[in-house]
Amino acid sequence: MADVSEQLVAETETWSAVRTRAAVVDGEVTAAAVTEAALVRAGRAGHLNAISVLLAEQARAEAASRDVALAAGEAPGPLHGVPVVIKEEIDTAGQVTTFGGDGNSTPAPADAEVVRRLREAGAVILARTAMPEFGAWPFTESVSRGITRNPWNPRRTPGGSSGGTAALVAAGVVPVGMGGDGGGSIRIPSAACGLFGLKPQRGRVSTAPHEHLWWALGTAGPLARTVADSALIYDVVRGHTEVDRFRAGDVGSFVEAAEKEPGRLRIGWSTAPVTKGVKPDPAHVRAVTETAAVLAELGHDVREVDPGYPDPTLAFVPQFFAGIRSEAAGVEHPERLERRTRATVRLGAWVRPGVREWAIRRGEEVSRRANAVFEQVDVLLTPTVAHRPREVGVLDGVGPLRASLASTPSIAYAALWNVAGNPAASVPTGLGADGLPLAVQLVGPTDGEPVLLSLAAQLERARPWPLLR
């Protein structure tokens, strides 16, 4: 273990990925020192229960190799020396891909494509992060891993299913981390933890070595403290392989988009939830209307709209069950799965391959109808979630039906865009009266990540969001 000063531990806690890379490349600090400081913070964040596996020795070796390469004159990558964390559902060579449970026991033989690209860009893989089993719920709680807590208030959930990653990034352990989103699982924990979380267009990020993530619903992506860091990670990891079933359209550099002024946009806002019967928290309604006012002050054409949401249930539910069932069918020890997971698998027995493919086709019709709003506006502004972060223990002793009911307010604004495939981002807007972060969701048209990044960066400059210290 290398010595590292308390000053460096504290200073690098607030560094972005962009700042970290520049400091290492310019010789201000070594990758080894940055990594050691992150490991110290990881040890101090144990009360959050966000880390499933701390890769301390591997990270030290990786950081040392980055320093050797730089000293030898090798060109540094765009993430040179930046420590990152990886959600448990993403293969990391030599580590068991647990999906948040105990169903597997054999380490993955190779990195997933996104992890391979992160390493190739110079990142240092620090840890693997907690998630609910198979990412089924928007609360990071499981029988095998226990409860993951929100660093803003440990009595509250960080959301899910990428809650372990969100907690570590929000706590300043690392500047960025990888998550996944099949129904809001990047945006929900980003909203709960005060982060910027963009779900990209379906097919933007490779799911290799797997053909898909929850069929047409899921995608991997980063959770970050800044828009620039999110854009940087996406420019590193995006792009499909021959393995991928879904492929996004061509767009330009995300980093350049985040640096560019968006111009005058037509922005429609609505606080009506997609899911009928869900009532948004008044704080989230205010966050939307106040953000709309800020956007109007910035010169955009802002108006309330009726998005005419289609009902995504018939497309989402079969793919949800199919995603859980396909992942459960692939584990080595199905008898070790949680009781709730086994019950979910049984409940989804009706989702035969034909039903699943019908649901994917149904999703194409949902997408067509959902995208009609973009004939009127360039960006749609909504709440990210309906309710404030719940007290931890939401899933204690409950089966899949009660867990689904508890989850509905979390996905009421988010899941439609997984079905439709559109990019959508959770953008922090400050703190609520309860001291927890507030957020809004920005939704873009098909392949519209550049406009979302440009607009979110403009909001970030106009109204900087608080970071946890």
Q: Per-residue pLDDT tens for 77-121?
A: 999 999 999 999 999 999 999 999 999 999 999 999 999 999 999
Q: Which residues contact 327 (CB under 8 A, 6 or more apart)?
A: 99, 134
Residue 1 lies in a domain: no
Per-residue pLDDT reduced to its tens digit, 421-449: 999 999 999 999 999 999 999 999 999 99
Helices and strands per DSSP (H, E), number in the chain: 16, 13
Distance CA 166, CA 305 (A): 31
pLDDT at 465: 94
Backbone angles phi, psi at 219, to 5 degrees: -155, 150
pLDDT at 1: 52
State the total domains in the chain.
1
Q: Active-site residue among 52, 87, 407, 426?
A: 87
Q: Which two tokens stand for residue 290?
A: 């106040």
Per-residue pLDDT reduced to its tens digit, 128-145: 999 999 999 999 999 999
Per-residue pLDDT reduced to its tens digit, 182-196: 999 999 999 999 999
Ramachandran sector of residue 219 (left: φ over 0; alpha: ψ -120 to 50; beta: rest)? beta
Residue 467 lies in a domain: no
Residue 448 lies in a domain: yes
Per-residue pLDDT reduced to its tens digit, 10-26: 999 999 999 999 999 99
Q: Collapsing DSSP states into helix, strand and coil, what is residue 156?
A: strand
Q: What is the average pLDDT across 147-173?
A: 98
Helix (H) or strand (E) run with residue 381 in it: strand 379-383
Residue 53 lies in a domain: yes
User: Would residue 87 show up in a list of annotated catalytic residues for this protein?
Assistant: yes
Q: Supply the CATH number for residue 121's domain.
A: 3.90.1300.10
pLDDT at 3: 81
142 contacts 133 by C-beta, under 8 angstroms: yes
Q: Collapsing DSSP states into helix, strand and coil, what is residue 408?
A: helix
Q: Give pTM, 2 decimals.
A: 0.98
Residue 469 lies in a domain: no
Residue 105 lies in a domain: yes
What residues does 179 pair with on adjacent strands? 221
Q: Which residues contact 45 (CB under 8 A, 6 or more apart)?
A: 51, 151, 167, 168, 171, 173
Residue 157 lies in a domain: yes
pLDDT at 166: 98
Distance CA 453, CA 177 (A): 18
pLDDT at 2: 64
Maximum Cα–Cα distance for the chain, whole Å?
62
pLDDT at 469: 72
Q: What is the average pLDDT across 53-65?
A: 98
439 contacts 191 by C-beta, under 8 angstroms: yes
pLDDT at 68: 98
Q: Active-site residue among 52, 142, 162, 185?
A: 185
Q: What is the average pLDDT across 461-465?
A: 96
Indicate if the pLDDT at residue 204 is higher than 70.
yes
- Domain enclosing residue 45, as ranges: 6-462
Per-residue pLDDT reduced to its tens digit, 251-295: 999 999 999 999 999 999 999 999 999 999 999 999 999 999 999
Helix (H) or strand (E) run with residue 266 in it: strand 266-269
Q: Active-site residue among 52, 142, 161, 454?
A: 161
pLDDT at 11: 97
Average pLDDT, whole number, for the chain?
A: 97
Helix (H) or strand (E) run with residue 63 in it: helix 56-71
Per-residue pLDDT reduced to its tens digit, 220-237: 999 999 999 999 999 999
Per-residue pLDDT reduced to its tens digit, 372-415: 999 999 999 999 999 999 999 999 999 999 999 999 999 999 99
Per-residue pLDDT reduced to its tens digit, 333-344: 999 999 999 999
Residue 114 lies in a domain: yes
